[in-house]
Homo-oligomer: A and B are copies of this chain.
Amino acid sequence: MNDLKEYMLRVSELIDNTLEDLLPAGGVYPESIHKLMRYTTFAGGKRIRPCLLLAANEACGDTFGNQNAACAGAAIEMLHTFSLIHDDLPCMDDDDFRRGKPTAHKAFNEALAVLGGDALCIHAFEILAKTNRIDIIQEISQALGTGGMIGGQVVDIESEGKNVDKSTVEYIHNNKTAALIRASVTTGALLANASPDDIKKLSSYGNHIGLAFQVVDDILDEESTTETLGKDAGSDRAKGKATFPAVYGIEESKKYAKELIDKAHADIGFLGNKGKILYELADYIRVRVS
């Protein structure tokens, strides 16, 4: 996976530079909110969503890191950051640490964390408009709304401490996590003007790896230490979260993650060698708990 590592480094550099250009500087008035937006955006995320977007974009025939793809990748990372900031709030998951650093409302304050999340969401749409592609804005807004990410967050919170069935756990993770991951892949393909048939296959790939991503996250929460995880380990269980391990058990969850990745690999068979990075990214998502 040396190719993948190198690819991920190139993406991180490109996205960090793009975000640096697009986010207002910390010295711009009102300074506090711009500092908060940058604090969480540059808190050490792996830029997996932009990586998927850029890899799908390139696999469908565009040049690596063209301006539209870089803009859309940066916007998706801002949208992901917005969701993390609001997710960590005291009235939501009430998390004090993320990636080993105090969460936004701890490092700043709660009002600013609400507004900083809002601003990242709004600025992301402003940046998406720069691509001059209405279809991208539709694709991403649909993945984020109550039929996607937000819907998943609602059911996640409302399921805490309850005995939920498998279909509810599937709903939560299909929406809370997989929807934006899937949209990252399809946005890359749409920007490269891929055919509807290819987009359908890539959408399926995105959904499979998105679901696997959440299953793996849940396993890590159960099996890791707080130190390696950068946030409180075992907090899902403590909160009575509806997770895959809680419903299926650890071994079954690992098996399920592997099945999902196998399906994702099959989805992109049509790309042949052009799909190499996407293929390895699917493995990368699972390998953390293999």
Contact = CB atoms under 8 A, between A and B. Distances in A.
A104 B121 CA distance: 21
A30 B138 contact: no
A119 B146 contact: yes
A34 B146 CA distance: 8
Interface string A113-137: 0110111011101101100101001
B126 A142 contact: yes
Interface size class for chain A? 35 or more
A141 B129 contact: yes
Interface string A136-151: 0110011011110011
A169 to B, nearest CB: 14
Interface of A: 24, 28-30, 32-34, 37, 82, 86, 89, 91-92, 109-112, 114-115, 117-119, 121-123, 125-126, 128-129, 132, 134, 137-138, 141-142, 144-147, 150-151, 153-155, 157-158
13 contacts: A29-B151, A30-B146, A30-B154, A33-B151, A37-B146, A91-B110, A114-B114, A119-B145, A119-B146, A122-B144, A122-B145, A126-B145, A128-B137
